[in-house]
Chains A and B, each alone.
Chain A
Amino acid sequence: MKEIFEIRWHGRGGQGAKTAALLFGDAALSTGKYIQAFPEYGPERMGAPVQSFDRMSDKPITIHCGITNPDIVIVLDSTLMKTIDVTDGLPDDGYLLINTHKSPAEIRKEFNIKGKKIATCDAYKISEETIGKRIPNTPMLGALIKVTSILDFNQMLKDTEEKLKKKFLGRPEIVKGNLESIKKAYEEVKQE
C-alpha cells in the first residue's frame, strides 16, 4: 500500500455518498489509521452528481487539497457514467467499483474502459433485500473492503454497527439490515 490510500465516491445527492465516506473513515480510524473524509461542496440538489473523498494512512495526514488521483473510484449510480468520466485521474492499476447488476466485462465493453481493475456489485438489489430501500452506500462499503483488502472486514463491521446504533437509536431493524447488506455485498461483489 502506498503511503496514503485515496478513495473517490461518485453518487447522486441523497444517495449517501458523504455518509459512505464518513462511515469508511470512522471504521478506518477504529483500526488505528489516520484518516480524512470530506464531501465536495457545491450547490446540493437531490439527484445531482456529487462526490466525496477519503484518505487513509498509517502516518498523520497533513495534505489538505482535493483528491485528483484516487486509488479507487466507487460509483453509487452507474447512470452517472453516461455523463461523467468517473475514471478521470484514476491510474491504470486503480480500482473501479460500480453499483450495477452488470458484470465487470459488460461494463468494460459498454464504456470502452482500458486498464483499471473493474468490480461490480448490485447494491440496489442487495439493499432492497436487506434494508427494504434502494440505499447503495452501506453495501458498497462491504464490496470496497473485499476488493481492496485495505481494512479488516470484521473490525469494520463491528465499528459500523456501533456507529449505526447511535445514528438509528431504537430502530435495531435498520442497523441489522445495513449490516446484512454489507456482508452480502462482501460475498457477492464480482471482480475480473
Chain B
Amino acid sequence: MEKMIVAKTGNEAMAEAMRQINPDVVAAYPITPATEVVQIFSSFVADGRVDTEFVPAESEHSALSACVGAAAAGGRVMTSTASQGLALMHEVLFIAAGLRLPIVICEVNRSLSGPINIHCDHSDTMASRDSGWIQIYSEDSQEAYDNTIQAMKIAEKVFLPAIVSVDAFIISHSMERLEILPDEEVQAFIGEHRKPYDLLDVDNPITLGGLDLQDYFFEHKRQEIEAMKEAKAAVIEVGKEFGEKFGTSYGFFEEYRMEDADLAIIALGSTAGTTKVVVNALREKGMKVGLFKIRVFRPLASEEIKKSLEHMKAIAILDRADGMSSFGGPVFHEIRSCLYESEKRPIVTNYIYGLGGRDIFPEEIESVYKDLEKVAEKGEVKNLINYLGVRE
C-alpha cells in the first residue's frame, strides 16, 4: 500500500482524516486553536471533495445539538472544537452519550478561562471526562490522524461518542511529517456506517429523549456504563486491526522502555514525546527509567494499568490540569486508585505542569526522574503533590 508522506499540522492531519471518513454531517462552530479543522473541512465541502452536509452553527451548544439530531437520524457525524467550545457543549455531551450516539469530536486541548488563555492544557477534556465519551489523547500529528480514524470505528462498535484530542499549538499548529493512507483504505477500515437506530425509519418508530424517571433511568445508565466496559475490547480490537493493516498498532497506552524500569513517568499528549528524549538520555547514564504514555483515558484500563505498573519502585504522574480539590490532578487520582488494589502498591507522586501553555523542557522532566530516584531510595515521599515550572 502506498502511503503519502506530507508535512501537516495536527489540525490539518485531523481535517484530512475527517475528509477520508467522509461523514454524512458535520455541524461546527470554529474556535481557536481548532478553527483550522473546521475551516479546512468546510473547504473540502465547498470543493465537493466530501459528500457531507455542513452545518455552520451559531454556537458550540447548537453545533453539538445539531450533531445529536443528525446522528439520531442515522447519520455518521463529526465535529471539532476546543476549550470554551467543549465547555459550552458540556450539557449536550451527556445527551449524546446517553442517547448512545457514536459522534466523533476532533478536539484541541486548550485551557479554560479564566483568566483567558488560548494555549495548551488538559482542563477542557478533563472537565468532560465523566460525560460518557471515549477519550483518546494524541502525542503528535500522526497519532491525531490515526486516532481520528480509529475513533470513528470504536465509537460505532459500542455506540458511544468519542473525543480525539491534540495539544493546542504544540501539535495543532506544528507542522510535522505525516503518513497518509489512501482514501479507499480508510473507507474500507472504518467500514459501513453502524447506527444504533434510525429516527427516519418510519416503519419502526421510536421515541428519543423521552422523560426517564425513577423506574428506568438507572437501568439505562447501567447499560451506558456497560458499553464503556465493552469499549475496552473495541479499543484493543480496532488498534490491533489498524496495526495489521497499516503497520502501527495501538492500545490503551504506550510503554516506552518500561521492561526493566524501576522509575516511571506517566504522561498524556505531546509531553510524552519530550519525556522519551529524557528517558533515552538517562538510560545512557544507567538509570532504569521508563515512560508510560496514556492514550485512552476513557475507558480507563484499570486492570491493565495495575498489571503494568505495580512492580515499579516509584511513579510520577504528570497532570496538565488540576482538579482544584487541593489534592492533585485527575490522572493522579485515577491511576493511584488503580494501584490501590495491588499488594505491591508502588509510591505514586503527582506533578501539575504546563497550565495555560507553560512550556515543559527536558531539564524539568529530568528533575522529576531525579526526585523519583530519591523517593525510591528513601522509601518516603516529601511532597506528594508538586508544581513543575511555576513561580512560587
A binding-site residues for B, Cβ under 8 Å: 22, 25-26, 29, 34-39, 41, 60-66, 68
Contact = CB atoms under 8 A, between A and B. Distances in A.
Interface string B161-175: 000000101110111
A65 B360 contact: yes
B276 A62 contact: yes
B170 A36 contact: no
Contacts of B273: 62-64
Contact of B271 (A34, A41, A64, A68): A64
B146 interface: no
A18 to B, nearest CB: 9
Interface in B354-386: 359-362
A37 B174 contact: yes
A64 B270 contact: yes
A62 B7 contact: no
Given A62-B140, A64-B273, A65-B361, 9 more contacts: A26-B7, A26-B175, A37-B174, A38-B170, A38-B173, A64-B174, A64-B270, A64-B274, A65-B362
A63 B7 contact: no
B233 interface: no
B225 interface: no
B277 A29 contact: no
B177 A29 contact: yes
Contacts of A65: 274, 359-362
Nearest to B175: A37
- Give 10 closest A-B pairs by Cβ, nearest first: A62-B273, A38-B174, A64-B270, A37-B175, A62-B276, A29-B7, A64-B273, A26-B7, A63-B277, A65-B361
B5 interface: yes
A25 to B, nearest CB: 5
Given A26-B7, A37-B7, A41-B169, A63 B174 contact: no
A63 B176 contact: no
A132 to B, nearest CB: 28
A33 to B, nearest CB: 8
B175 A36 contact: yes
A64 B7 CA distance: 16
Contacts of A61: 176
Contacts of A63: 273-274, 277, 362
B177 A34 contact: yes
Given A25-B7, A35-B7, A37-B7, A64 B177 contact: no
27 contacts: A22-B175, A25-B7, A26-B175, A29-B6, A29-B7, A29-B177, A34-B177, A35-B7, A35-B175, A36-B176, A38-B170, A38-B174, A39-B173, A41-B119, A41-B169, A61-B176, A62-B139, A62-B140, A62-B274, A62-B276, A63-B277, A64-B170, A64-B174, A64-B270, A64-B271, A65-B361, A66-B359
Contacts of A39: 173
B277 A62 contact: yes
Contacts of B175: 22, 25-26, 35-38
A110 to B, nearest CB: 32
Nearest to B360: A65
Contacts of B176: 35-36, 61
The residue among A26, A38, A63, A65 with the most chain B CB atoms within 10 A of its own CB is: A65
A65 B273 CA distance: 9
B177 A35 contact: yes
A180 to B, nearest CB: 24
Given A25-B7, A35-B7, A36-B175, A64 B169 contact: no
A41 B140 CA distance: 18
B268 to A, nearest CB: 12
Contacts of A68: 361
A64 B278 CA distance: 12
Contacts of B174: 36-38, 64
Contacts of A22: 7, 175
A38 B274 CA distance: 16
A63 B359 CA distance: 12
Nearest to A21: B175
A165 to B, nearest CB: 16
Interface in B140-199: 140, 167, 169-171, 173-177
Interface in B246-273: 270-271, 273
A29 B178 CA distance: 10
Nearest to B277: A63
A19 to B, nearest CB: 11
A34 B179 CA distance: 12
Contacts of A37: 7, 174-175
A76 B273 CA distance: 31
A113 B300 CA distance: 55
A25 B175 CA distance: 8
Nearest to B176: A36
Contacts of A25: 7, 175
A64 B274 CA distance: 5
A26 to B, nearest CB: 5
A14 to B, nearest CB: 18
Nearest to B32: A41
Nearest to A37: B175
